[in-house]
């Protein structure tokens, strides 16, 4: 049955999208997990609905037909990331409350604008829970370009991000502009969220950003290996989830999330030998 579906161009596109999603999920997700900012990422991903809802309303109800809602998602994600970063750097004692406020306010704005937009129940479901089977060629190109941008930034800033995530005070003593770097880091998380939400939706995107990296962390004590393993896990489990959803006719995003969570639970109690390699002589 699956092989019949594999002939379907929509399913083929969806498989490619899963493979492309593995890079932001594995690379940026590893930083999110080790820096322990899953809730900041959750807040950004949910606030995206505000920008998307607004752009969807402009596009459908106000005649801005050229306006792709993904731009709304992009700007609201970056905006939320910068606000959260600024709060983290300047008002850390109120950070958790601001995370919650941005999380819920973004969603509220999105729901209101989507309610003003005619005939958008299906759109709302797609934004919230994704619809990987609607991925088009242009989306794949967009995903590939964004992946390239993310990888380039990570390669250039890897060591500084490592220092920032492990001990930002030490990084500051080494002359790193920690505040700017933290804002860049959160912007990268925002970009990854925009990329991943096209596959899995705003509600479930946090699963793809955290579970594969956490799972990879069970097998290694090196961040670089954690990133590679997390990419492999995302590629494997998301394509597996997609295949299961096609066969069982389940919603793809929810199926992928359940398979990711299930695999983590499965591996958690097992004693594992940590994988390592030593580039340092």
Instruction: Using the minimum distance from each CB to another protein, give the nearer residue, 33 or 206.
Output: 33
167 near another protein, judged by CB under 8 A: yes
The contact mask relative to another protein for 174-213 (x = CB under 8 A, - = no) is: xxx-------------------------------------
104, 170, 180, 247: residue in contact with another protein (rule CB under 8 A): 170
Closest Cα partner for 217 from 268, 259, 277?
Answer: 268
Rounded CA-CA distance 22/181 in Å is 24
Q: Which residue, 99, 108, 98, 97, is CA-closest to 50?
A: 108
Region of 166-174, 194-202, 237-245, 255-263 interacting with another protein (CB under 8 A)? 166-174
Minimum distance from residue 36 beta carbon to another protein (Å): 8
Say if CB 90 and CB 64 are below 8 A apart: no
Q: Least CB distance from residue 231 to another protein, whole Å? A: 15
The helix-helix angle for 178-217 and 223-248 (nearest 10°) equals 60
Q: In the chain, helix, strand, coil percent, each to 5? A: 85, 0, 15
Q: Residue 171, interface with another protein (CB under 8 A)? A: yes
119 binds another protein (CB under 8 A): no
Is residue 155 within the footprint of another protein (CB under 8 A)?
A: yes
Binding mask 7-46 for another protein (x = CB under 8 A): ---------------------------x-x----------
Q: What single-letter DSSP state applies at residue 274?
A: P
Phi, psi angles (nearest 5°) of residue 275: -90, 135
Q: Token pair for residue 75?
A: 């700007």
What does the binding site for another protein look like in residue numbers (CB under 8 A)?
Answer: 34, 36, 155-160, 162-163, 165-167, 169-176, 217, 220-223, 226, 274, 276, 278, 280-281
């Amino acid at each position: 049955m699956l092989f019949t579906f594999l002939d379907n161009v929509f399913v083929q596109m969806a498989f490619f999208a899963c493979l492309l999603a593995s890079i932001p999920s594995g690379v940026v997700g590893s930083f999110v997990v080790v820096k322990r900012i899953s809730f900041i990422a959750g807040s950004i991903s949910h606030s995206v609905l505000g920008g998307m809802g607004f752009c969807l309303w402009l596009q459908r109800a106000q005649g801005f037909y050229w306006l792709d809602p993904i731009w709304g998602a992009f700007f609201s994600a970056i905006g939320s990331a910068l606000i959260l970063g600024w709060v983290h750097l300047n008002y850390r004692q109120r950070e958790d409350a601001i995370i919650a406020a941005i999380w819920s306010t973004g969603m509220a704005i999105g729901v209101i604008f989507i309610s003003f937009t005619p005939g958008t129940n299906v759109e709302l479901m797609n934004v919230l829970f994704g619809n990987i089977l609607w991925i088009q060629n242009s989306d794949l190109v967009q995903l590939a370009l964004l992946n390239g941008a993310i990888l380039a930034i990570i390669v250039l800033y890897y060591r500084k991000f490592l220092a920032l995530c492990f001990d930002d005070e030490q990084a500051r003593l080494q002359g790193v502009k920690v505040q700017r770097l933290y804002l860049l880091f959160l912007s990268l998380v925002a970009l990854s969220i925009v990329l991943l939400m096209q596959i899995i939706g705003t509600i479930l995107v946090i699963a793809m950003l955290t579970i594969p990296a956490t799972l990879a962390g069970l097998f290694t004590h090196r961040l670089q290996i954690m990133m590679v393993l997390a990419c492999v896990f995302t590629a494997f489990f998301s394509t597996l989830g997609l295949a299961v959803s096609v066969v069982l006719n389940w919603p793809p995003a929810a199926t992928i999330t359940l398979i990711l969570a299930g695999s983590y639970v499965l591996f958690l109690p097992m004693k594992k030998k940590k994988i390592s390699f030593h580039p340092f002589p």
